[in-house]
Amino acid sequence: MKYEIIGDFDVIVIGMGGAGLRAAIASHDAGARTAILTMGDNSPTQCGATTTAEYSYSAPLAIADPRDNADVFLDDISKVGLGVNDPQLSALLAEHASSRLLEMRSWGVRFDLKQPGGLLQQNRLAGHSYPRAVHFDYATGREMARGLHRHAVAKGVQVLPYRFALDLVVEDGRSKGVLVLNIARDRLELFTGGAVVLATGGASGIWDLNSNPPGIDGDGMAMALRAGVELVDMEFQQFFPACLVAPPFLRGTNFPFFSRGMLLNSGGEAFLKNYGLDEGRDVRDVLAIAICKEIEAGRGTPNDGVFVDFTRTPREVLKELAQNSKIRYLRDLGFRPLEDQMEIAPSAHFTMGGILIDAAAKTTIPGLYACGEVCGGCHGANRLAGNALAETQVFGNIAGVNAADYANCNSQRDAEPSTDLVATLIEGVFDERGAKDISKAIDDVKRIRVIMDKNVKVIRDEDSLKEAERQLAELAEKEFSFDKPSGNATFDYGKIEALKRRNTILVAKTVVASALCRDESRGAHYRQDCPRCKEEWDYCNVVAKVDPASGEPATYVQQR
């Protein structure tokens, strides 16, 4: 099958969220010819979850409280991480979040100030000992994407939009590039290069009710697994406590304002106190579990949610909320989110688990690096608000510097993979017979999301996980083939969704296997058949890897 070989770059970054942008800037600064490949267009409007991130970037700048510093920040991260975190990665996050933030500011990324020309404004969020949340106009991620994209492009980072990464090319035990479908031209491209940085974001899209923008379905994790890379902590998925469940076209829109009001069950009772919680000011895992328990007990709304009520919220707070851009958005659509009770439920939001990296953002494969939400390790069993955006910058920088260093030290000349390997990778996806299975494959992807919602959500147990395992295995039995790229099916994002089928299956199976392996409850992983932390699991991680013989993910436990 035909493909274009593109060998103009030393470092290829896959994904243009905050992590990919930061990695590309660092790699470019270290002297490497750097390209970013992204599914969307060449603009900050489609930079993954980063564009949609709302409120906060956590940095222990100690502006609002002089007692704050990196050590206290690390303590807070470790406290909610419950011993699951890789201490080295968490320490890097705590240590470098502030300097990466100030650097962004120097590049023109704006943040809210206390007064014009004054100091940065910092707010305190759940789980943080001090006010650390730096923000901009309730669209902090969009502002980061804008500023970072502009800075990267101005420097000379090459952005290659409309590229869907299909597979990593790994041969002789090292990274040799990436196989890509050019969506705009409907053609295959093989990018060969010194080093590859995976920055494709999390896997929340494999759940039906999720808060993420389209396309965040664990592609990078699936590619890594197929290439023999290990994933860690995949049983830890954060569910944002409050996302809209109705009307259908707003399903998944997150509704963070719940903490300013009260959560009511179908009987109108403020139920959180029955779980020993303080009206929404707790960290996310505990809240999500309480809300789901209430719904499962039959006290939820008809759409399997609970209500958010603001009748007891002070008038000044309501006035302030009314200015919020998301509240205004809902009003534009004809809703009265502060007056009428909206229905919310926990929904898949952030993947704590992911690719296993070391302190240099290296994977186990030489030449392959990873950063941002696609990685596991730095948050552990639960992630604090604001720490994901900080993670993108801290680890994006580390990955970019080290990938450039690797590329500078390893000549590209012998990096070209064998044509046999590339042919095998292509045949894994496309078929010369030209069968058209697109709509069936998309149906499967939707089915997987429902399986995950039913069985692998906030509250799981062995039975539900086994059921998911069975259903996923059954679904995976079918063989699919897709038309080989011909140049005609341009901008066919339906085809992209279909091509994600195998990724979605693989990542879903990995989550299920990891959740079955950890037979205890900890942080965001709540097993109702073993509802407590078990001491023997302290400082243990579930690591997943594809067994080359069966092609299935297998798990083992690693103790630190």
Ligand X SMILES: Cc1cc2nc3c(=O)[nH]c(=O)nc-3n(C[C@H](O)[C@H](O)[C@H](O)COP(=O)(O)OP(=O)(O)OC[C@H]3O[C@@H](n4cnc5c(N)ncnc54)[C@H](O)[C@@H]3O)c2cc1C
Binding site for ligand X (CB under 6 A): 14-20, 37-40, 47-50, 52-56, 140-141, 163-165, 199-201, 211-212, 215-216, 219, 254, 350, 372-374, 386-389, 392
Instruction: Report the nearest approach of other proteins to the CB of residue 184 (Å).
Output: 4
- Among 27, 34, 51, 503, which residue interacts with other proteins (rule: CB under 8 A)? 51
**Residues written for the chain:** 560
Residues 274-288 as b or e (16 or more Cβ within 10 Å = b): eeebebbebbbbbbb
Residue in 431, 404, 393 with CA at minimum distance from that of residue 12:
404
Instruction: Report the nearest approach of ligand X to the CB of residue 50 (Å).
Output: 3
Count the neighbouring beta carbons within 10 Å of the beta carbon of residue 171.
15
Q: How far apart are CA 354 and CA 232, in angstroms?
A: 5
Asked if 111 contacts 120 with a C-beta cutoff of 8 angstroms, the reply is: yes
Smaller CB separation from other proteins, 110 or 326: 326
Q: How far apart are CA 380 and CA 83, in angstroms?
A: 7
Smaller CB separation from other proteins, 163 or 502: 163
Instruction: Report the nearest approach of ligand X to the CB of residue 405 (Å).
Output: 21
Residue in 333, 370, 318, 126 with CA at minimum distance from that of residue 240:
126
Strands, DSSP E only, in 471-535? 482-483, 526-527
Using CB distances below 5 to 8 A depending on partner kind, what does residue 338 bind out of other proteins, ligand X, none? none
Q: How far apart are CA 265 and CA 345, in angstroms?
A: 11
Asked if 33 contacts 8 with a C-beta cutoff of 8 angstroms, the reply is: yes
Instruction: Report the nearest approach of ligand X to the CB of residue 273 (Å).
Output: 27
322 Cα distance to chain centroid: 29
- Among 336, 486, 491, 539, which residue interacts with other proteins (rule: CB under 8 A)? 491
Q: How many binding residues for other proteins (CB under 8 A)? A: 46
Asked if 240 contacts 346 with a C-beta cutoff of 8 angstroms, the reply is: yes
Asked if 354 contacts 374 with a C-beta cutoff of 8 angstroms, the reply is: yes
Using CB distances below 5 to 8 A depending on partner kind, what does residue 541 bind out of other proteins, ligand X, none? none
Angle, in degrees to the nearest 10, between helices 18-29 and 140-155:
30
- Among 215, 337, 400, 553, which residue interacts with other proteins (rule: CB under 8 A)? 215
Instruction: Report the nearest approach of other proteins to the CB of residue 10 (Å).
Output: 18
Which residues lie closer than 8 Å to 530 by C-beta, 6 or more apart? 519, 520, 521
Q: Does 43 bind other proteins (CB under 8 A)?
A: yes
Residue in 292, 363, 33, 1 with CA at minimum distance from that of residue 166:
1
Q: Tokens 């590339």 belong to which residue?
A: 422
Q: How far apart are CA 386 and CA 360, in angstroms?
A: 22
Using CB distances below 5 to 8 A depending on partner kind, what does residue 492 bind out of other proteins, ligand X, none? other proteins
- x/- binding map, residues 291-330, to other proteins, per CB under 8 A? ----------------------------------xx-xx-
Using CB distances below 5 to 8 A depending on partner kind, what does residue 387 bind out of other proteins, ligand X, none? ligand X
Smaller CB separation from ligand X, 448 or 516: 448
- x/- binding map, residues 247-266, to other proteins, per CB under 8 A? x-xx-xxx------------
Smaller CB separation from ligand X, 505 or 540: 505
- Among 139, 190, 370, 451, which residue interacts with other proteins (rule: CB under 8 A)? 139
Smaller CB separation from ligand X, 196 or 389: 389
Q: Does 155 bind other proteins (CB under 8 A)?
A: no
Using CB distances below 5 to 8 A depending on partner kind, what does residue 3 bind out of ligand X, other proteins, none? none
- x/- binding map, residues 397-436, to other proteins, per CB under 8 A? ----------------------------------------
Q: Does 116 bind other proteins (CB under 8 A)?
A: no
Q: Which contacts qualify for 153-158: CB closer than 8 Å, 24 or more apart?
A: 153/42, 155/25, 155/28, 155/29, 156/28, 157/24, 157/25, 157/28, 157/34, 157/35, 157/36, 158/9, 158/33, 158/34, 158/35, 158/36
Site for other proteins, rule CB under 8 A: 39-43, 45-46, 51-52, 54, 139, 142, 153, 158-162, 182, 184-185, 211, 213-215, 247, 249-250, 252-254, 325-326, 328-329, 332-334, 438-439, 490-494, 496
